[in-house]
Amino acid sequence: MNFPMSRSWKKASLTVVTLGVAAAIAMANPAASTPVGAGSSGTTGFGRNAALSQTSGHINWLVPSDGPYPTIHKGDDIAIYVSISRQRVTIFRGMQVIYTMVASTGIDDANGDGTPHGTFYIQRQRGTFFYAPGEKEGARYWVSWLHHGEYLFHSVPVDRENHIIVSEAMKLGHEASHGCVRLTVPDAHWFYQNIPYHARVMIGE
């Protein structure tokens, strides 16, 4: 099995997603202009994620973000758009939005842990679990999109024993990672099982 690389590195400067792409996404998904916490279904939370707690405001990292998952067929034109400002991952089939996920991207700080902006492609490396001793955390269901195991889509963090780190999972929906894109556990599982190699990944505001 291939494992992601442990990271404590500076992030490279990469091409920003063009305004044309952002405009196309806005036209295809008008709900994307709604603020964080207002889902595409018009309910509280991301899409139909009923787990946006009415008391704590925390996203439930153990349930799907947007109801039942779509079926992806071989040959479908699949693309992924990651919105840093909204902390959402939107899955497209062609120009049609088929699913929206709550996410946590990188903390844009002096350590250079922000999530790179630009256009990338899903790589061959993926797996069901990893643990990075240097970061003292790992994740379930990871899929690489840059530098062959360095930048990933994956679940909320887990410890060495594959137990969810609750203090980190509670940050879902806010910038929290070292540059990867965190998802709920079932979202990460579906992503790992269904998103095809070389699907386009666009990351912008």
- Catalytic positions are 154, 180
Q: Which of 153, 195, 194 is nearest to 177 (CA)?
A: 153
3-class secondary-structure state, position 68: coil
Q: Are 153 and 8 in contact (CB under 8 A)?
A: no
Integer angstrom CA distances of residue 90 from 6, 12, 47, 66, 185:
27, 24, 11, 10, 16
Q: What are the residues whose beta carbons fall under 8 Å from the beta carbon of 43, sequence distance 6 or more?
A: none
- Angular region, 176: left φ>0, alpha ψ -120 to 50, beta rest: alpha
| Count, residues in the chain | 205
What DSSP state is assigned to residue 132?
E
